[in-house]
Every structure is written in C-alpha cells, then in structure tokens.
Structure 1
Amino acid sequence: MIRRHTRTLMPLAALAIGAAAGTVTFSGTAGAETTDIVRTGASEDGYSSSSRPTYTFGTSDTLVAGRSGSDTMVTYLKFTVPSPGTGVTVKSAQVVLTRESKTLPNALTISKVADTAWTEKALSAKNDPAVGAAVSTAKPKSDAAAVSFDVSSIVKGAGTYTFAVTSRVANSPARFRSAEATTGQPALTLTVTRPAATKPPATKPPTTTPPATKPPTTTPPATKPTTTPPATKPPTTTPPATKPVEATPTPTTPAECKVDAKLVPSCGVLWGAAAGGFSDVPRDEALKTFEQKTGRTSTIYHTYHKGDELFPTKDEIAMSSDPASPRTLMLNWKVGYGTKWANVANGDQDARIDRLSTYIKTNYGTKKFFMVLHHEPENDVNATAGSGMTAKDYAAMFRHTALRMKANGVTNAVFVVAYMNYEKWNNTSWWGDLYPGDDVVDWVGVDTYNNAQPGGFHYGDFNYLMNRTNDKAKFPGWYTWATTKHPGKPIMVAEWGVYDSSATVVGKNKADVYATVLPQLAKMPQIKGLVYFETAKDQNGHDIRMDDTPEALAGFKKIAADPRFNVKL
C-alpha cells in the first residue's frame, strides 16, 4: 500500500513546491503580505473498535468514530507538516474529514494525542494511544459532506501531529473516507502568511544549456543493418508436421459462472459471510471489514431478522446495490417470533407476512434474494403432541409462509431450509418431519461448525464438518442425506465456522482445518453456496473469527482466493 506523504497545495497567491526535499516554499507579489492555503494529507490513519479489540483497520478505506451499542470506535489521524519556510506564520489550521456514508452524529470531538509513534498497521483497541484533552468540537448537519475541526491551538508550524476523533452520541457512528479512499482523504489545512520581503529559495531556473548527455550523431548505431535477411530460414513450401496455428482450434476459456433464476451458479460456488455475529457492530460495517481482511467480496451477505421487523433494511439494500462489490442478500426470518409455529401455519400471523410482502415489493422490487425461514429449527422443537412446536408444525409454518408470500406477489424470494447438523437431533425419530416439501424449498441448507483442537469434541476436517455422524444406522451424515433424499436441490452451507477449544489457542490448528476445505469441497459438487459465520464469541464462548491468529487468517485467505468462487450475479 502506498503511503500518502505528498502535500497538496492550493495557493491563494503563487506557490512553489520543493518536491525533492518534501518542503514547501512560497512566492508572492513584492510589497504585500502573501497568504497561502496548504493542505497536508494524513501520513497514518485508522480506527479502533472496543468490541473487536484485536482488529486493525489501517488498510480500510473508511474511518469510523462514535458509538454503536456497546462498541466504541475511535478514529486516529497523524499528519506530518514540513517546514513552511523562513518567516512564514501559521494563522489557522483545520482538520477536514469527508463523510463516507451514513448520517453524522450531532456532535464530534477532536482531541490531542501525545503518542506519535503509533502506526495504522498495528493500531487496535488493545494498543490504541490515550486520547488527550479535547481541542475542538464540531456540530455538523446529519448530511454534511465534510466536517472541519479547528486545531489552530495545536498546529503552529512544522512537526508531527496526531489526533483522535470521538463521539458520545449513542448508536450514531460517523463514517469518513480514509487516506486509502480514492477521493476525499483526510486533510490538515493550514492558512499561512509571509512578509513580502521573504524571497523564494535559490532554486536555479532551467538553463538553456542542454544536459551533458550527448546529442545523437549522424553515425548509425554500431550494429549496422545488413541487406542479408536474418539467419532464420524462410518457411518452406512443405507444411510442418504440426498443423498451422490458424488451423488449430484456440483453447476456450472456462464459461463464465453465472446464477440462474434460483440463484444457482452454472459453475463454481457462491461465497458469503455473516460477519460480526453476537456483537453491536453494524452488520454492513462488519462485512466490509471481513471482506477487507479476506480479500474477497462476499457475494452472499447473510443477516438475521425476526417478528415484525421489516427488511431488507436501507443498509442491506445499499450493500446489495453496490456496483463495485456485487452481493445478494440472505435474509433469515423467524416469522413465528413471539408465537408458535402452529399458529403461523393456521394463519394467525398472516398480517405480519402480508406486511413484509408489501414492504419487499415496494422497496426491493424483483431483485433475487435468499429467504431462510427460522434457521436451525431443531433447537426449538418440542416433540410433545399439541405443543405447537413439533417438527411437523415447523414444516407447516415454512410451507404456509412461503406459499402466502408467493401469493402476495413476492416473486424474488429464493427459499432455503437451514438445519443445524447436530448428531443428537439428527438421530431423533422426528428429524425427518422438519422438511417442508420440495415445492416450497429451493435450496437445502445447513449450519455446521468444527473444533480445531486435535482430539476435541467435534474435531475434524471439512468432510467431517459436512458429514459427521455417531450412528450411521440412524443418520448417514448430512451431506449424504441431502444428496440422497433431495438430489435435485442445491446445497447451501448457510453457516460454517471453525473454533479452537485448546486451553491455549494454536494458530496452526485452524489453519490445518482450513487447508482441507478446497480439496474436499471439490468432491461435494452439490454444494453451491458457502457462507462463513464470523464472531469473536458465540453462545458457547467460541471464537469463530477467521483471523484470531495470523496463521488462521493466512489459511483462510487461501480459501477465499480460489477462482471457483468467481461467480457473477
């Protein structure tokens, strides 16, 4: 990554830049004081996140400052100001940040940071420098294009200056463009003056004498062209044994992998993620961080909703409408939240279904998306007859919801049933009753996790992740079941992840499991979607981040880089 140490200057009078030495010099009209505006780009910038204490964001094109739930994010900025020249006075200084997206909080504070040794590459909540005294507070409009902070009390001349930007406004973090953005990077703007007597440095003007390099002579180069053709013989009239190139069919490149009306790829596998699980970090922000770290856009963006929530949200729509990062949504809905599956199947929540149907048609048109209805139902089954939460009640709820949404004119939902792949449930007599029916199920999905601790519970490779069983007579393994019972259905690994239950986490453990994914995935052609669930701490305390160690991240990036995930939406 190229550091932005260049100084962009916008003079109100004539201005010259000493580029070789990295200094700034000024020129102006004699007999009058000259005023100039000097803009210096950030040499380092990044932000820290209290809920993701080990994460670094120095390569992100976005800076975040403020609060979201229990997560506090602080933006750090470092500017290196060169000498403005003899006799030059800094009259005022402003730090300017360009809004990247979202609305701005009504108050943002910039504070002095004494530590100037931090680097964006290493900056995280575990080591971020202490925030010092407040310098100034800005109160921008929510849709302001940029925010300016007066730092005239701090910046008086040449030197290295570091600042922190914070906000106490709840659930309204500000997002700004960083030095890695293509436009609108952070800037320190100085207004400077110099006396008219000040002369520009003795930079010599170009002379009329040409450089020492001799002009070309009239004598040709030492290697003289000859009238004799090159030693290579001309082609004979006898064709070579091998057919001419023109007659040889040009090897064709593999067909471009595209999706059909049910979002099934013609080749390859859809790549996706549900990032920032069980945290207060906004899901779109967490996904962008995940993509940045792994090096690939998540074609499937998996989010979760329940009850009367309306979705896709504005943020989700924005994420799936980004032409630079094409994505489709996987929206998980617990339609029966606050009631029972049997009640939904009986029509008690039709108003809820109808309201969402209208919202989707109005706000999302006909763009295709995945709809998962109440993932991992096994954990909520009450097998007692009449409970309203039996396996058959789940299947009836799924059917009723899918059919009513279709009747309401929702034509762009691709329905997914997502199991949880836990042996205890797979072996039950009722597990088979969960399936809603081929006519309402477009994809068969599974949520499944592995332990990377050698010898630990649920330790295994990718094959084990997809096909584990403790009693083949009762259940042959999930992938075997899906491909045998529903051979015409594409398989969605709607959630997968790897954690390490070792007393001391060993980076090699996760990396070893990740290394089995690609070769074993190749032997499971019915898998058409692979969606990683990323969280620092799940309900059982497991760390399922792909980057909890450098070794794990390196192993995961090898998976993400594979061309089989180059599927075009």
Structure 2
Amino acid sequence: MIRRYARTLMPIAVLAIGAGMGTAVYSGSAAAETTDVVRSGAADDTYSSSSRPSYNFGSSTTLVAGRQGGDTMIGFLKFTVANPGAGATVKSAKVTLTRESKALPGSISLSRVADTTWTEKSLTAKNDPAVGAVIATAKPSSSATSVSFDVSSVVKGAGTYTFAVTSKVSNSPARFRSAEAATGAPALDVTVARAATTKPTESSPAPSGPATTPSGPATTPSSPATTPADPGTCTAGAKLVPTCGVLWGAAAGGFSDVPRDEALKTFEAKSGRTSTIYHTYHKGDELFPTKAEIAMTNDPAHPRTLMLNWKVGYGTKWANVARGDEDARIDRLATYIKANFNKPFFMVLHHEPENDVNPAAGSGQTAKDFAAMFRHTALRLKADGVTNAVFVVAYMNYEKWNNTSWWGDMYPGDDVVDWVGVDTYNNAQPGGFHYGDFNYMMNRTNSASFPGFYNWATTKHPSKPIMVAEWGVYDSSPTVVGKNKADVYATVLPQLAKMPQIKGLVYFETAHDQSGHDIRIDDTPEALAGFKKIAADPRFNVKL
C-alpha cells in the first residue's frame, strides 16, 4: 500500500523520481509482451518561499508553487526508480500532481533539477537547488483535479531524478497535495514492457501467474493439506494465534472518506461474515485505538480484535527513532493505551517498509535502520508496560524488493516479532502481469534465490505464524469480466489448506487504490458470489 523542486518564476515542484510504492497499474498484454505501469510515490517533497527564506515546509501536507505578490514559492519532489528487471523496457513515464485547493494557474512547467542531494527536512529558499531546462508544460483548467507531465525524455530506467515545476502566472499559486496528505500524493508512473509468458493451469499448486522476469516459478509448499476447523472449537490463544482455523479480517474503505468502522460493517454485510480482525492505520503522534475502534471490539454480538498499523517514524527517519529521538512519542502512546485499552491487539510497525528504504549508507532509512526502529519501538512499548500488543512485521510481496541485496536486513528479530506478515495482491486478468491463483499470490518469484514469501517465511522463521495482513484481487482487463475474480477466489480455500502456517487472512477493500485498481469484492455479481464462498468456510469460525 505507496510511500515523497530549483526555481524560476512560479515554480511548483522539483521531483526526484523513484521506486516509491512499487504498485503496478496494468494497461494490457499482447502476444509478444505485457505492459504494466509501476507507480511510485515521492521519497521527499517540500517547497520554498522567497519571502520566508528560512522556513522549511517538509512536513506540510500541501505543495505550493507560484507567485503571490512578492513571494515566489517553489515545490520540490524526489522519486527513486528501481531497476525494472531483466528484459524490461521503459516505454514512457509521467509525473502526476493532485490539486489540493484553489484554482490552478493556466500554465505550469516541469523542469529538471540536477541536484538530487536535497531533503525535505532541510530545504529552504536559502539552499534550494537550481532549476534546469523545461521538460514539459501543462495548461490545465483552473478546476482540474490533477496535472500530469510527460517525463519520458528523462526517465529511461533506474536512478534518482529531480524536477521543478514553475509557472509565469502572477498571483495564482498552485496548491497540490504532498506525500504527507492522506490521499492524492505525488506519483510517478513508469510504463514498462516485459516479455509475455503463458498461463499455467490454475489447479496446480505451483504459482499460476507470469513472473516479472522469466527466471522460473516459485517452489511448491511441501506442507500437507489441512481440513477446515470444526465450527465453535477454535479460539484465539497466546499471541492471538488460533488454536485451530484461521483468523478472518478486513481493512475496508481504503482511499475513501467513508469512516473505517462504517466501511467494515458494510464489507461484513456484503461478505456474510463478521471480521475477527479490524485493520486500521495510524501515524506519528496520533493516539490509538480511537473510541470508534474500541467500540468495534466491544460489540457483544460480534467482538473483534484490532490490527493497528503505526508509522512511528512519520516526519522523521527510522535511524532517529532507533536512537531514541521519538521516545516521547512512543511513551505518550504507551500511556494512552494503558489507560484506554487492555485487550490483546495486533500492532504493525510501518507496514510495507520496502517502499521507504534508501540503501545509501547514512540515509537513516536503510533496511537495517528499519529493523532497528522496529526493535526499539517494540522494546520501548514493552518497557513502558504495554503488555497487550502483538507485534507484526508486514512486508510487500513484490519481486523487485525481494530480489534486493538488503531485503533480508529488514527482519527485526524473532524476539520482537510475534507474527510475520505480508501484503499481497493478484491480477485477475488472464495473462496479465501478476495474474495467478492464491498460491501464486503467496509464492510468486522471479529469482532462483528467493523461493516465494510463504516458503521463505516457513523456512527462515518456522516458529512464527503468518499474517496475510492485506490481500486483494483486481481485474485489469480492458473490460472487467465477472468470472475472472471468481476464478481466482475459487483457488483460495484449497490452496490455503496447504499452507497451515497462515493463521490470519485480512482482505483490503477499496473501489480505487493509488494505482486505480478496483479491489472490491462485489464489483461484479460473480465476484461477490465467489468471495462469499470463501467467507462462509468454517475454518474462519475462530472465537476471541
């Protein structure tokens, strides 16, 4: 789920283009190749103001660019593009900014910036980088929702790229949403072409979707199939590990303004099952669980446990958290939890960290910095007397991250990790990128050195239960076909039975994620019918 400008006239933003979320948008497939769009969020973003030369706006949820009276404001963005993989070709690239408020000026230009060393926490008008040549100019309507710039002439592959957006329009500065905003963060879409592969049979226990590079399928889990649990016999034991069966849950209403508790109840009504796990997200100084979240655990007819996702390092770096700079933030949350909530709950510390890794030594955001941040936060909370938190480390299941030299360095240690989690999504478009069955969703790989997530977790951390902290299915076919999702859903139960270490299954539902995917369970009647068959299975009858 994706994890953020030099100056002339009315500059709007400098963008350093990068890997960001690594989420893929799928634009189709042909006989010889498939095309997907990898969307990245900005690694840094901020703006400078000539009338406030010493001000830093790195924590602002808004990027302001342009002229207002005698003030010239310049926005800055940074993205880092990862290697798209062997045999992949970058076809095009564009940067998109979402209007935050006010009318847009009639002309906005994106320029390249040579300096890539600036950071959002240190940039001011006194040190902002120089603006280079204009790459693209947009002439949006004043009420346009977003503005896009073609950067294909610059983005040719892996690397860090910086840009500035400028405008000559006076007294009409643009206001865009920054990476710190809840929605509409700056995005870089890189269209990549890859060699097509054939579809394997869905009944096979081996991965049934095409790998991102033709280096071979994942290995098959060797665990024997397990039978569904008997209704009423399974309970949540120590560390919320079910004595039998699988915990069922959802995070609903993502990327929308619908309250999460309301969205979850709607999801439950559609699916026909109450969620045992209610998954929500928090960051920085937010105190949680909220009253609304606590109320969901107190429903006498349908009690739920919470999975609370916290980006404790929001607004700073992992290394800073690890060295104690945010101990006051951690202690404040600990005091709140002890005073307001005493039931066991799952705590995920900075889910999908791969998006935010900067492997450069001293960046404060290396994989080892993440592990240190996780360890420090978990141990600090425990020392503060928080005894009801069950800690989950939640990875992205994306090949380009699993293949990096640093991916293994992110694991914080068995002593502070209670569950190993993963966020993973499948495409239901036959032959599309990341198309496959449930086993492929859990075990896809394109490298002989990585056996697939489930196989990795069960081999490296055999004592840890696996939490599928987010999962979902979308159909990127040009015309959505109801049967497609239903076919993928039909593989879940028989293949889940062969993965006994999976003890939690939490669906992420949204009508439109940051890449445009529709992950609703009911986008077609066929999809809903297929999902309801999963939800009705007795193995999810775990009592809290």
TM-score by length of 1: 0.55
Find the counterpart in structure 2 of residue 279 from structure 1: 256
User: Is it true that 1:491 corresponds to 2:466 in the alignment?
Assistant: yes
Say whether 1:528 aligns with 2:503: yes
Matches within 5 A, 1:248-397: 256-365=233-342, 367-397=343-373
Secondary structure of 2:494's match?
Answer: helix
Q: Which digits, 9 at most, give the CA deviation of each residue in 1:453-497, with x for residues without a partner?
A: 0000000000000000011x2211000000000000000000000
Question: Within 5 A, what are the aligned runs for 1:108-507?
Answer: 256-365=233-342, 367-471=343-447, 473-507=448-482
Q: Closer, same or farther in 2 for the Cα pair 1:324/1:491, shift >3 Å?
A: same
Question: In structure 2, what is the equivalent of residue 538 of structure 1?
Answer: 513
Kindly tell me: are residues 253 and 437 of structure 1, through their superposed partners in 2, closer, same or farther at Cα, counting changes over 3 Å? closer
Contact preservation (8 Å) 2:232, 2:542 = no
Query: C-alpha separation between the residues in 2 aligned to 1:449 and 1:320?
Result: 27
Look up the equivalent residue of 2:480 and give its one-letter code.
Answer: V
Determine which structure has greater relative contact order: mean sequence separation of CA pairs < 8 Å that are 6+ residues apart, divided by chain length.
2
| Letter of the structure 2 residue corresponding to residue 267 of structure 1 | C
Gaps of 5+ in 2: 1-228
Is the CA contact (8 Å cut-off) linking 2:231 and 2:541 kept in structure 1? no
Distance 1:405 1:508, change over 3 A: same
Kept in 1, the 8 Å contact 2:231–2:538? The answer is no
Alpha-carbon distance between aligned partners in 1 of 2:386 and 2:354, rounded to the nearest angstrom:
27
Alpha-carbon offset, residue 260 of structure 1:
1.1
1:54-65 paired onto structure 2 within 5 Å: none
Q: Does 1:560 align with 2:535?
A: yes
The one-letter amino acid paired with 2:479 is T
Deviation digits for residues 332-364 of structure 1 (CA, Å, limit 9, x no counterpart): 000000000000000000000000000000000
Q: Which runs of 4+ in 1 moved over 6 A?
A: 252-255
The code of the aligned residue for 1:371 comes to M
Give the drift of 1:323.
Answer: 1.0
Aligned-residue Cα RMSD (Å) equals 1.1
Question: Which whole-Å CA distance do the structure 2 matches of 1:382 and 1:255 have between them?
Answer: 47
Amino acid aligned to 1:422: Y
* 2:163 match: none
Maintained 8 Å contact 2:232/2:543: no
**CA deviation after TM superposition for structure 1 residue 261, in Å:** 2.2
User: Residue type matched to 1:500 in 2?
Assistant: D
Match of 2:491 among 499, 508, 516: 516
CA distance in 2, matches of 1:326, 1:256: 17
Amino acid at match of 1:396: A
| 1:567/1:470 CA distance change after superposition, 3 Å | same
Looking at structure 2, the residues matched to 281 and 457 of structure 1 have their Cα atoms a distance apart, in angstroms, of 30
Paired residue type of 1:385: A
Q: Partner of 2:469: helix, strand, or coil?
A: strand
| Cα distance in 2 for residues equivalent to 1:254 and 1:460 | 30
**2:378/2:391 contact within 8 Å kept:** yes
Q: Runs of 5+ in structure 1 lacking a partner?
A: 1-251
After superposition, where does 1:77-116 map in structure 2 within 5 Å?
A: none
Q: Do 2:232 and 2:541's aligned partners in 1 also have CA atoms closer than 8 Å?
A: no
Q: Which amino acid aligns with 2:396?
A: M
Q: Which residue of 2 aligns with 1:73?
A: none
Alpha-carbon offset, residue 382 of structure 1? 0.2
Shift of 1:452: 0.1
Counterparts of 2:230 and 2:493, CA distance in 1: 21
User: Structure 2 counterpart of 1:485, which letter?
Assistant: K
Contact 2:284 2:311 in 1 (8 A): yes
Same amino acid, percent of matched pairs: 88
Q: Whole-Å Cα distance in 1 between the matches of residues 442 and 231 of structure 2?
A: 28
